[in-house]
Amino acid sequence: MPKREKTPLPTTITETHAPVPEQSQNSQAEDSQFELQPSNVAGTRSGFAGILGRPNAGKSTLLNRLVGEKIAAVSNKPQTTRTRIQGIVTNPEGQIIFVDTPGIHKPGYKLNKRMMQAVQDTLATVDVVLLLRDASAPTGNGDRYVLNLVKEAARPTFLLLNKTDKLEDKSALLPLLEWYKAEYDFLEYIPLSALKGDNLNLLTRKILEHLPEGPYLFEEDALTDQTERTLVAELVREQLLNQLSEELPFATAVLTERWETQPNGVLKLSCVIYVERESQRAIVLGRGGDRIKQIATQARKNIEKMMETRVFLELFVKVQQHWRNDEKMLDLMGIETNQD
């Protein structure tokens, strides 16, 4: 699992693409989740803070910035996050486990219903809710819907007005603050920029003030509860989001199927990109395989930076019709089950 204070590795390895193989039986260097490691530091605070908001509010950008590493895919397309992703921030005063949730939207497919169930589960279990709002966008029905969820949950909640770097006149925040103050009694009101890092130290300090006293729940150098296989798949999916047309990324999913460390130290990875139609497969591959090569190149660079080793990355594209409504496929992808 990646540690803090990494340095990028510039070495490049050639990527390939080919028909989807059978899943490899060689699973050397399997990754594992962090185990809970309570600390013995007296007087510390620890707990969970759920990041809630509409699509494109900047939730994953905020999580990555707070943690200091990329653990969640970031894109300007909505519904980038599909599961609850936990990022861990530890300092001498305590430990905050940030929970990044999918952007709140109207569910259609079973995939989306599971995504919204993850939001509900987070609201019911975290110590503090962070309502993240894009301060540069006008208020709409979606914002009122998210606010109603906060009211129904009745959890201690911060209002975070994000993307203040987009506002030339910061006084434009005042009417928005007044509107939210009239609607709900928030614990804190904090304008910030997840992209620039503005006011994030203030945010972590204020969150710790509202967390219960207790030992660290994870090791001090832990970054996330996500497995390395999941992080690799997310880095590939991020490139699909960034390099494909508006609608196609929503019909794609990525699974890491092969993970081998070679005798020379190179990490050999194979990921399968799932689409729903043959025409989508052709788009992902691109003419002569050009697009899949571009996706693999950028994803590999990011994986090398995360893993601090040279990487050989293979990407395959497989058609799996209606996977967004396939319970078994959703289970395989680790997307939480809707209990309703």
86 vs 224: CA distance, rounded Å: 5
Q: Tell me the pLDDT of the chain (340 aa) as tens digits.
A: 444 443 333 322 234 333 333 333 343 344 433 344 444 456 799 999 999 998 889 998 999 999 988 777 665 544 455 566 889 999 999 999 999 887 675 666 777 788 777 788 888 899 999 999 999 999 999 899 899 999 999 999 999 999 999 999 999 899 999 999 999 999 999 999 999 999 999 999 999 999 999 999 999 989 988 889 989 998 998 999 888 876 566 788 899 999 999 999 999 999 999 999 999 999 999 999 999 999 999 999 999 999 999 999 999 999 999 888 888 888 887 776 644 4
pLDDT recorded at residue 328: 86
Q: For residue 114, how many other CB atoms are within 10 A of its CB?
A: 23
Residues 6+ apart with CB under 8 A from 176: 133, 135, 139, 161
- Helix ranges restricted to H, the chain: 59-67, 110-125, 141-153, 173-183, 200-209, 228-243, 278-285, 290-307, 327-332
pLDDT recorded at residue 118: 77
pLDDT recorded at residue 5: 42
DSSP-assigned letters across all residues of 194-248: TTTTBTHHHHHHHHHHTSPB---SS-TT--BSS-HHHHHHHHHHHHHHHHS-SSG
138 vs 127: CA distance, rounded Å: 29
Secondary structure of residue 140 in the 3-state scheme: coil
Name the one residue in this structure whose structure tokens are 């997840």. Answer: 194
pLDDT recorded at residue 42: 60
Burial class from Cβ neighbours inside 10 Å (0-12, 13-18, 19+) for residue 28 reads: exposed
| No. of helices (H) and no. of strands (E), the chain | 9, 10
Determine the topology of domain 16-29+227-332 in CATH: GMP Synthetase; Chain A, domain 3 (3.30.300)
CA 189 to chain centre: 24
* Matching fold, domains 16-29+227-332 and 45-209: no
Q: Global pTM?
A: 0.75
Residues 6+ apart with CB under 8 A from 101: 50, 51, 52, 59, 81, 84, 118, 119, 122
Q: Which two tokens stand for residue 116?
A: 């919204």
DSSP conformational letter for 308 = T
pLDDT recorded at residue 78: 44
Where along the chain do its domains lie? Answer: 16-29+227-332, 45-209
Determine the topology of domain 45-209 in CATH: Rossmann fold (3.40.50)
267-275 β-sheet, strand order: 16-17, 311-319, 267-275, 253-261
Taking the C-alpha atoms of 127, 3, 25 and 234 in order, what is their torsion angle to the nearest 10 degrees? 60
186 vs 176: CA distance, rounded Å: 13
Type of residue found at 48: F
